[in-house]
Each structure stands twice: as structure tokens, then as C-alpha cells.
Amino acid sequence: MTYPHLDLARDPHDRLGLMRTDEGWLEERWDAPDALVLVVSGTRVRPVGGALDWLPTAKAPDGLRVLLGERDGTTYWAVITGPEQAAAEKEAWLPLRGLLPVLSGDRAHAPLVFHALGLAEWHWATRFCPRCGGRLVARAAGHELVCQDCGKPQFPRSDPAVIMLVAAGEPGSPQERCLLGRHPSWPEGRYSTLAGFCEPGETLEDAVRREVFEESGVRVGEVTYFGNQPWPLPSSLMLGFHARAETEDIRLDDADVEDARWFTREQMREGAESGSLVLPGGVSISRSLVESWYGGPLPGSW
């Protein structure tokens, strides 16, 4: 079975990490006639005609040059400018979540855009040295920030988050069911897998058990790894798991979960077909977790 969340990571680029400090090579590749650049205003990108607008580097505005890498012989860059243009033309400049429909139609460039906007979000959020409050200067083609006062380097972060499909009952039987929940702000009928961030000093498996209990009151035992998905909204790495429930009574004490329910495969299919159950979109690892448990594609999505 092909899982939908893998589509946005199917064609990774060579990130050329060893070349990020070679200033001569960087200038040579920037000046190459086939090099392409994506302009990021603050943390937003402006599609043109419903597609990503990759420009020749000669047409790029001034800003922080970020080396993304190389694919099929072409060097790709991002230039991060101030947020002024995006603020002035807000409808035209989209954050990453708004770009997901564009990336669904241009999946070959999705890893490059995730890379560019992940770094843009990091530069946006990291303004001063966390040790001394000093000034930060970009190095390594945008992949490092160094404090000009104390010398401490900063590097981009990806925060690990667990996302899990919890199942109960005899595996594969008609009575087996999975646990889905909904956020209070979601439209009626929208449900998804539970998720949460890993805390310091915690294993991923224990994070699964803790988050499921906090959000639903259900106790989890066995936890098995499923897969992962970069999710720079703004800086997460979603780590997917299947988990087996040891208890089934639901108790809702977490304000982030308005409702949680058990669904059999028949209930899930009937709800998805009628539209009374709206499942996560295909680009999300949550969708892949649901469909891997269900055993195939399901209709409808956010």
C-alpha cells in the first residue's frame, strides 16, 4: 500500500551540507545560469498562477541567501527578505499551510519548499542569542546563527511530535476499533488521530502513552513505529506510531480534545462515505495512519 504522506517527501534533494561554508563555490553556484531561487517574505511565499515561482538568481531581491541544495543538476536557493511585502499583499503571499494545495500539484518541489520555509521560520523566531541576548549573524549559507557577543552558535531545530493510531479489540476482526479525537475549533464531524510533543528526557513510546492518556484517559501498552513526516508548521517532525489500548473507557480532561470516539472499520467507512466523519487530508501522516489501519483508501478529507 502506498501511503499518501510520503508523496511530499518522495523526491528529496541533495542538501550539499559540506559546501555551505565554501564561499567561492557558493558564489559560483549562485551565478550559474540554471540556478533557481524561491523568494520568501518573512515566512510566506507568493505562488504565481497557482504554481511556485522559482526565479533565476539574477532576478532575486536582496535578502539572506539560503542554499537548499541540488537536484537533477540544478542548484536551488531561497532568499529570505523582510516581511513587509507579504504584509502589504497578504492575500498573495501564503504561509506553508496555505501552500499545501499548491504542493499537492507540484510534489517534486515539496521537499525544497519545506526546507526553505523551515529555515525561514527558524530565522524569524531566532532573533537574539538565548545565552546572552547578543546579536546573531547568519553563517553556513543560512543554516547557522552565531552570536557576535559570546560566540555561541545556533542551529535549526525540529521538535519531535508523536502522532498515533490507537486500536482496541482483536486485530483485524470486525470488532476492532480505533480511537479518533477532535479539537474544539474544528468543524462538526472532523476527527483525527491523537498527537502531542515529546517532552525532555522522554522516549517516543512513553510520549505516545502519556499523550493518549492525557487526551483521552485511555491506557496504552504496545507501541510500534510506523513512519515519520517533516512538518515545518513551524518546526515539527511528526513521528507516527500504532498503539494497542489496554483500557477503553474515555475520559476527557484535556481542553485540546473536545470529543474522542472509537470507530470500527464499518463505522469509519459509513461515516466517510456519508460525510458525517471527515478525516485528515492526504498529505498528512495522520491520513496514512488511518488508512493503514483501515486497510485501504477512504473517501473525503479536510
For residue range 137-186, list pLDDT tens digits in order: 999 999 999 999 999 999 999 999 999 999 999 999 999 999 999 999 99
What integer is the mean pLDDT of 264-285? 94
User: Residue 160 pairs with which residues in a beta bridge?
Assistant: 237
At residue 17, the 3 state secondary structure works out as: helix
> Is residue 54 pLDDT above 90, yes or no?
yes
pTM for this predicted structure: 0.91
Burial of 43 (0-12, 13-18, 19+ CB in 10 A): buried
Q: Are 69 and 115 in contact (CB under 8 A)?
A: yes
Percent of the chain with pLDDT over 70: 100
Predicted pLDDT of residue 302? 76
Q: Are 156 and 140 in contact (CB under 8 A)?
A: no
What integer is the mean pLDDT of 72-100? 94
Q: How far is CA 144 from CA 57, 127, 291, in A?
A: 22, 12, 39
> Is residue 211 pLDDT above 90, yes or no?
yes
Q: What is the DSSP letter of 93?
A: S
The chain-wide mean pLDDT, for the chain, equals 95
> Is residue 289 pLDDT above 90, yes or no?
yes
Predicted pLDDT of residue 286? 96
